Chain A
Amino acid sequence: MPVRREIEIEASPEEVWEALVHEERRAQWLDEPEREVDVEVVQAPHRLVWWWGEDDAMTRVEVLVVAVARGSRVVVTESVPAFPLPALAAAFRPVGQRG
């Protein structure tokens, strides 16, 4: 059950892409200084995927950029992993290391 939002921008996908991939530009509009962006997929100029979050609570963000008549459509999907990653990591720790 991901969140999906989109917007149209009067600029080419390449121009939008510049604001997505360059860390400084991205930080300007994300405005989330306490979240670290961990980029997973880069497919210029159409698809960027990253993980982010605070502490162990990570979510996955996929940004798609498609050309439309008046410029670009940007579609963002943010999803929560279906499994509790830290809990799983704890469960799969070697027996000797469990608290």
Chain B
Amino acid sequence: MNPLPAPDQVGLVFGALADPTRRWMVQALLRDGTTSVPALAAALPISRQAVAKHVVALGEAGLLERAPTGGGREVHYRLRPGALDPAAAWLREAEASWDDRLARLKANVEGEAD
């Protein structure tokens, strides 16, 4: 068996990305590189507190990290490099496994019918 990333860790990432607001925030980070709670609150129709909660959720899933601020007081965030790798690896592995299993199911059923 290939070593799979622990589904619990993968589940945290998928759970974090299951929310449309958080997906929007990740897309904004992919586009802009860094962001901050005030910047996100200015762009989204939700309160600064709500934004902060989403930032915490993304951080707990390992998707965000603090970015160097260059002396400013505001905390900036960026995507954590490699954060999606375990989830992507699980997806690729699960897809390949199911292709194999379904091919065996087809052979099993069609062989039975002959």
Contact = CB atoms under 8 A, between A and B. Distances in A.
Interface of A: 1, 3, 5-11, 15-16, 18-20, 25, 28-31, 34, 53, 56-59, 74, 76, 78-87
A15 B66 CA distance: 55
Nearest to B87: A1
Interface of B: 1, 6-12, 14-15, 17-18, 87, 90-91, 94-95, 98-99, 101-110, 112-113
Main secondary structure of the interface of A (DSSP, over half): mixed
B91 A1 contact: yes
Given A11-B110, A82-B18, A29 B104 contact: yes
Contacts of B104: 28-31
B7 A5 contact: no
B18 A1 contact: yes
Given A30-B101, A34-B1, A80-B7, 16 more contacts: A3-B94, A7-B105, A10-B113, A11-B109, A19-B105, A19-B108, A19-B112, A28-B108, A29-B104, A29-B108, A53-B7, A57-B6, A58-B7, A76-B98, A80-B11, A83-B11
A30 B102 CA distance: 8
A6 B102 contact: yes
A85 B7 CA distance: 10
B95 A5 contact: yes
**Top 7 A-B pairs, shortest CB-CB distance:** A82-B15, A29-B104, A5-B98, A7-B102, A57-B7, A84-B8, A3-B94
Contacts of A31: 101, 104
A1 B14 contact: yes
Contact of A7 (B1, B18, B87, B106): B106
A82 B15 CA distance: 4
Contacts of B17: 1
Contacts of B113: 10-11, 15
